[in-house]
Amino acid sequence: METERKKALEETALKVRKDIVRMIGVAKGGHLLSSLSIVDLLVFLYWETMDISPDDPLRPDRDRFVLSKGHGCPALYAVLANRGYFDRDELWTYRRLGSMLQGHPQFPRTPGVDAPSGSLGMGLGIATGMALALQTDGKLSRVFAILGDGELQEGSVWESVMTASQWKLHNLVAIVDVNGIQMEGDVRGSKQMEPLANKFESFGWTAVPCDGHDMASIEDALDVSLSKVETPSVILAATIPGKGVSSAETGKLRPAEPMDRMTMEESLSELEERSEDKTDEAEAGEPDEKYP
């Protein structure tokens, strides 16, 4: 991957991370750790892979995206805003009465949100139905779905795993955010999900491991997945919960713990230091003043 392109993507991801921290900080709620772990995957999908039109969000032959782990929606909202689906100021209304940005993704409330989610274990099935309908119509559109690793404990996921494989849905790419945590701690503590690759492969899927925070690795994994013509693919993305914010990465914050003002400010300046593009802060304005 060319250094320039990689740098630009990383800079975008940093911008998205800052928006997420600010959104969750202002809203005083939302899943920070689980949102930060999927940022790089989403940025790559929305800026590099997917055929989409932010000014025509429902274009019939677009690629689709389903966020099955709906609680990670701050990441999706920040990506959609930065990609031009709606005004970035909307982000500071997240979780508020009347907002287009609900606590979990709602269809058709938010431009760019292709499917409803919030109750876990359903997104892969919806994505399967989409892929099936598109394939039936001879359309070339592809469907991407991000699932959590804890979410894989829902039995309904495995019903869809079998369905997608039965119909050889090669236009379907599932991405598992293997961040290792769920609400009450380590995923291994409730239901051990590994070895994930073997599980998916034994159901007839192509499993591709990748580093979920490395743009080049994500690109390679998507290239392999999209080259398959007989099987659906799953990308097993190794990620770090709270990636980019040290108080979150080190486990100081629990998965759904709200951030206090101090932690938000610290996290923002931490992300700011990593950024080369310093113009963003001034542009973002002060969300708290606008929505006290």
Partner 1 sequence: MKSTRDAFGEALMDLGHRKNDIVVLDADLASSTRTEMFLRHFKDRFFNVGVSEQDLVQVAAGMALCGKVPFACSFAAFLVTRAYDQIRTTVAMPGLPVKLVGTHGGITVGEDGITHQMTEDIGLMRSLPNMNVLVAADAEAARELTFLAAQIEGPVYLRLGREPVPALYAEGESCFEAGGGQLLKEGDGVTFCTCGIMVHEALRAAEILEKQGIRAEVIDCYSVKPLPRQLILSSLRRTGCCVVAEEHNIIGGLSEAIARLSATEFPVPMRFVAVNDKYGQSGTPRELQEYYGLTYREVVSATAQVWALRRRL
* Binding interface with partner 1 (CB under 8 A): 60, 64, 106-108, 114-119, 121-122, 124-134, 136-137, 155-156, 159-160, 162-163, 166-167
Phi and psi for 55 in degrees, rounded to 5? -85, -5
CB of 178 to partner 1, least distance (A): 22
Beta-carbon-side half-sphere exposure of residue 239 (alpha carbons within 13 Å): 31
Nearer to partner 1, 48 or 159 (CB): 159
CB of 265 to partner 1, least distance (A): 36
CB of 134 to partner 1, least distance (A): 6
Nearer to partner 1, 115 or 215 (CB): 115
Cα-based distances in Å from 225 to 115, 143, 179, 220, 258: 22, 12, 20, 9, 36
Burial class (CB in 10 A: 0-12, 13-18, 19+), 43: buried
Calpha distance 38→234 (Å, rounded): 15
CB of 81 to partner 1, least distance (A): 21
Nearer to partner 1, 64 or 213 (CB): 64
Nearer to partner 1, 107 or 291 (CB): 107
Nearer to partner 1, 33 or 120 (CB): 120
Nearer to partner 1, 119 or 192 (CB): 119
Cα-based distances in Å from 181 to 185, 247, 255: 5, 16, 8
Among residues 175, 169, 146, the alpha carbon closest in space to that of 236 is found at 175
CB of 51 to partner 1, least distance (A): 15
